[in-house]
Chain A
């Protein structure tokens, strides 16, 4: 997977977050440092937020 050269930071631990080059809005990205799941809220300018917790009715 190709990574971008710029690395945004995790809002939880402030560690560097690696994003795939073809990252999409709404995608969930794990933080390799602290393990939380981050959601790509906005692509430009890039905005990451803590991903919502799994709800009772989530699934396939």
Chain B
């Protein structure tokens, strides 16, 4: 491969180690870029790469890096548009709604009073999420009005302005698990159940992972969700509701370390092969 490839990281997760190993196994020459050391001129292109694969942990750094590089002609994985959509729960929900992909009912409000009214319209329990955030942090299940009042006051008083964009979502009784589908381009290569006794079924919060067969229904929904946000290397999270599967969110830099063994799928290898194909297309 003659394409000049760079991989942007911040902290090196197990995922990035696995990806680097797969790149090295294929003899792919690539440059590691530490986003903490990047200096990106807006006036001129300073990064001598054809394709940049961003695996940074930080949404803000990722978003501006790929926006700047794309404007200077560099192909980015994932694209700036995809990163912007997936990193913001409001934009993700809008994209899913536009594409008629089943997703949970959500209302956005900007004051504690209007957020409380939105919650009462849903009925308790209800879920409050930060617009930007991950790993289940600051996601709150509010079981009654008084709990909601307390949390909303805390967010309004102590939170940044991001915390005062109140993303209010219906609460769904799920069977102690949700589903994650790993999308590589148009292909759902693997899926897992994430099971926990806690209502937040995130592996970063201790959920365990089991293989989930990629049924036609799951494949169709995950593919539709991936297309709705622009496609690429994505992890689509879904929940089983009484009315069927519903898409929760789409991750642009999904973690997969715990999903390789239960699925038997070499997820990083598939991702690297897709990036190599993209790089050959970009060069």
Query: A residues bordering B, Cβ < 8 Å?
Result: 24-28, 39, 51-52, 55-60
Q: Is the CB of B132 within 8 A of A52?
A: no
Q: What CA separation (Å) do A59 and B83 show in the bound complex?
A: 12
User: Of residues 41 to 96 in B, which have CB atoms within 8 Å of A's CB atoms?
Assistant: 57-60, 87
Query: B residues bordering A, Cβ < 8 Å?
Result: 9-13, 16-17, 20, 32, 34, 57-60, 87, 132-135, 137, 160, 162, 235, 251, 253-255
Q: Is the CB of B160 within 8 A of A27?
A: no
Which of chain B's residues have a CB closer than 8 A to the CB of A24?
12, 17, 20
Which of chain B's residues have a CB closer than 8 A to the CB of A27?
12, 17
Q: How many A-B residue pairs have CB under 8 A?
A: 50
Which of chain A's residues have a CB closer than 8 A to the CB of B137?
59
Which of chain A's residues have a CB closer than 8 A to the CB of B12?
24-28
> Residue on B with the closest CB to A52?
B11
Q: Is the CB of B255 within 8 A of A56?
A: no
Q: Is the CB of A57 within 8 A of B60?
A: yes
> Residue on A with the closest CB to B138?
A56
Main secondary structure of the interface of A (DSSP, over half): loop
Partner of B235, one of A25, A58, A60: A60
> Residue on A with the closest CB to B160?
A56
Q: Is the CB of A26 within 8 A of B133?
A: no
> Residue on B with the closest CB to A57?
B59
Partner of B11, one of A28, A56, A57, A60: A28
Q: Is the CB of B134 within 8 A of A58?
A: yes
Once A26-B9, A26-B34, A39-B11 are accepted as A-B contacts, the answer to whether A60 and B255 lie under 8 Å apart by CB is: yes
Which of chain B's residues have a CB closer than 8 A to the CB of A59?
57, 59, 133-135, 137, 253
Q: What CA separation (Å) do A56 and B34 show in the bound complex?
A: 19
Residue with the greatest number of chain B CB neighbours at <10 A, chosen from A24, A26, A27, A59 = A59
Q: Contacts A26-B34, A57-B59, A60-B134 known; list 12 others, CB within 8 Å.
A: A25-B12, A26-B9, A26-B10, A26-B16, A27-B12, A39-B11, A56-B160, A58-B58, A58-B59, A59-B133, A59-B137, A59-B253
CB distance from B222 to the nearest CB of A (A): 16
Which of chain A's residues have a CB closer than 8 A to the CB of B254?
60
Q: What CA separation (Å) do A51 and B11 show in the bound complex?
A: 8
Which of chain A's residues have a CB closer than 8 A to the CB of B34?
26
CB distance from B252 to the nearest CB of A (A): 8
Partner of A26, one of B11, B235, B255: B11
Q: Is the CB of B17 within 8 A of A55?
A: no
Which of chain B's residues have a CB closer than 8 A to the CB of A28?
11-13
> Residue on A with the closest CB to B136?
A59
> Residue on A with the closest CB to B21?
A22
Q: What CA separation (Å) do A9 and B137 show in the bound complex?
A: 32
Which of chain B's residues have a CB closer than 8 A to the CB of A55?
58
Q: What CA separation (Å) do A28 and B16 show in the bound complex?
A: 12
Q: What CA separation (Å) do A39 and B36 show in the bound complex?
A: 13
Q: What CA separation (Å) do A51 and B57 show in the bound complex?
A: 13
